[in-house]
Amino acid sequence: MKVISNAEFGGERPLFESHDLRLENVIIRAGESAIKECSNIEAVDCRFEGNYPFWHVHGFVIDRCFFDVGGRSALWYSDHLKMTNTRIDAPKMFREMHDIEIENVEINDADEVFWRCRNLNIKNLKLHGGTYPFMFSSNIRIDGLESDSKYVFQYVKDVEIHNAKITTKDAFWEVENVTIYDSELNGEYLGWHSHNLRLVNCHITGEQPLCYAHDLVLENCTFGPDCDRAFEYSSVQATIKGAIGGVIGATILGAVYGALVSSKMAGVIDNSSVAFAVASLAGALLSILGDLAASAIKRNYNVKDYGTLIPGHGGIMDRFDSAIFTAPVVYWSIEVINKVFGG
């Protein structure tokens, strides 16, 4: 294999139709199609500033490289790529490609990346900004994904995702045969018009998720309080944790606590186990109403948060909305139960 190191190239097609070539610490300056119609290429510690450097390349390795903003649309119509430890600041990467391995890659302008690609194996990918990543792609396996791009995974097929944190809107629309494990999915209108979408051990937030979904499966998932109008016109098979599990758990814990303190409550409440169970049930139900009421007020006034005092949260009210509803009801529940069950 020929080696070129510590060199710079620019202009039109400087390495056109190269084969069995290794580039070390090479800079591709302004220009177009630097590495086109090539095969068996290795690029290590390189910098790409010109447009369209890797078009129609068959069998190549990219490691510890950087794609500058000018290196847009760098990887199209190519196959059998292994990319590791690389940073990409350019948009519209990976188009009409197949057999791609990605590990430890960060894309800082994820606009229209991975379009019409197939056979992707991805580990530890970060996507920032942009719209429509992975559009029309298929046969994708991902372990480790952080993304704040909008409209991710639309019209994809045969996808398996593990350990993802996705903050977006309109994600997973019109998908087919997609399974997501151990992930956090944040954003409005998740999974509309999907077919065979399966979520396992996932936490979901955002308005109107999972509507018009066909053969939707949820296993051991939790939902945030803002997930109103979920499952409209959907067919669902679910084992869901969250509000229902929380209510049941609170009731059981209340009963157990009442039993433990029954001796100390003698003369005050005869059946403390029942009293605390009912009070806990009421409190759990009211806490959900408090969350929903606070969210409804924000939607009514078209604001996202009540304030910015606590970063990453919806404001001070989000810390007290449940307690405002719950505290007086729990107090009066115990008072009423004491009258009924008291001595």
pLDDT in tens, 135-155: 999 999 999 999 999 999 999
pLDDT tens digit sequence for 165-185: 999 989 999 999 999 999 999
Cα angle 200-205-210, degrees, rounded to a multiple of 5: 65
Per-residue confidence band for 228, with pLDDT thresholds at 50, 70 and 90: confident
Residue 311 scores a pLDDT above 60: no
272 within a domain of the structure (yes/no): yes
In a domain, residue 291? The reply is yes
Residue 240 lies in a domain: no
Which residue, 303, 330, 325, 328, is CA-closest to 314? 303
Average confidence score pLDDT of the chain: 86
Range of the domain at 269: 245-341
Query: What is the DSSP code (8-state) at residue 337?
Result: H
Q: Tell me how far apart the alpha carbons of residues 281 and 260 are, in angstroms, rounded to a whole number.
A: 18
- What does the pLDDT average to over 90-107? 97
**What DSSP designation does 115 have?**
B
Q: What is the pTM of this model?
A: 0.71
* Average pLDDT of span 9-13: 94
Residue 255 lies in a domain: yes
234-267 burial, b for 16+ CB within 10 Å, e for fewer?
Answer: beeeeebbbbeeebeebbeebbebbeeebeebee
Please measure the distance between the N-terminal and C-terminal CA atoms of the chain and give it in whole angstroms.
92
Residue 239 confidence class, pLDDT cut points 50, 70, 90: low
Q: Are 222 and 200 spatial neighbours (Cβ–Cβ below 8 Å)? A: no
Q: Which residue has the higher pLDDT, 16 or 272?
A: 16
Position 334 scores a pLDDT of 67
The verdict on residue 262 lying in a domain is yes
Cα torsion 71, 77, 80, 81 to 10°: value is 10
Q: Which residue has the higher pLDDT, 242 or 331?
A: 331
Chain centroid to Cα 20, Å, comes to 39
Asked if residue 334 belongs to a domain, the reply is yes
For residue 66, what pLDDT is reported? 98
For residue 313, pLDDT over 80 is answered with no
Q: In the prediction, which pLDDT does 263 show?
A: 65
Tens of pLDDT along 248-266? 777 787 677 767 666 666 6
User: Residue 301: its pLDDT value, please?
Assistant: 66
274 or 115: whose pLDDT is higher? 115
Domain-located, residue 306: yes
Domain count across the chain? 1
User: Is 251 within a domain?
Assistant: yes
What is the average per-residue pLDDT within 104-118?
97
Q: In angstroms, rounded to a whole number, what is the distance separating the alpha carbons of residues 319 and 287?
A: 11
List, for residues 320-337, the tens digit of each pLDDT value: 666 776 777 767 766 776
Instruction: Judge whether 326 and 334 are in contact, CB under 8 Å.
Output: no
If we measure between CA atoms, which residue out of 40, 35, 39, 44 comes closest to residue 10? 35
Is residue 284 predicted with pLDDT exceeding 80? no
Q: Is the pLDDT of residue 241 over 60?
A: no
Q: Categorize the per-residue pLDDT at 43 as very low, low, confident or very high, splitting at 50, 70 and 90.
A: very high
Evaluate whether 70 touches 89 at the Cβ level (below 8 Å). no
**More reliable by pLDDT, 281 or 121:** 121
DSSP letters for 255-276:
HHHHHHTTTTTTTT-TTHHHHH
Q: How many Cα atoms sit within 13 Å of 55 on the Cβ side?
A: 16
Task: Flag the least confident range among 54-68, 84-98, 103-117, 313-327.
Answer: 313-327
SS3 314: coil
Residue for token digits 């190191």?
A: 5
